[in-house]
Amino acid sequence: MRVLVTGGAGFIGSHVVEALRTRGHEPVVLDVRTDPVADVRSPGAVRDALSGVDAVCHQAAMVGLGTGFADAPEYVSRNGLGTAVLLAAMAEAGVRRLVLAGSMVVYGEGRYACARHGAVRPGPRAVADLAAGRFEPACPACGADLAPGVVDEDAPADPRNVYAATKLTQEHLAAAWARSTGGSAVSLRYHNVYGPGMPRDTPYAGVASFFRSALARGEAPRVFEDGRQRRDFVHVRDVATANVAALTADSAAGSFTAYNTGSGTPHTVGEMAGALASAYGGPDPVVTGEYRLGDVRHITADSSRLRAALGWKPEVGFEEGMREFASAGLRDG
Which one from 163, 194, 259, 280 is the annotated catalytic residue?
163
* 3-state SS track over 232-280: CEEEHHHHHHHHHHHHHCCCCCCEEEEEEECCCCCEEHHHHHHHHHHHH
d(CA 193, CA 170): 19
If you write DSSP's letter for every residue of 11-30 in order, what string do you get? Answer: HHHHHHHHHHHHTT-EEEEE
**163 annotated active-site:** yes
Q: For 138, which DSSP code?
A: B
Q: For 104, which DSSP code?
A: G
How many residues can be counted in the chain? 333
The rounded radius of gyration (Å) of the Cα atoms in the chain is 20
Distance of CA 141 to the CA centre of its chain: 31
Residues serving a catalytic function are 163
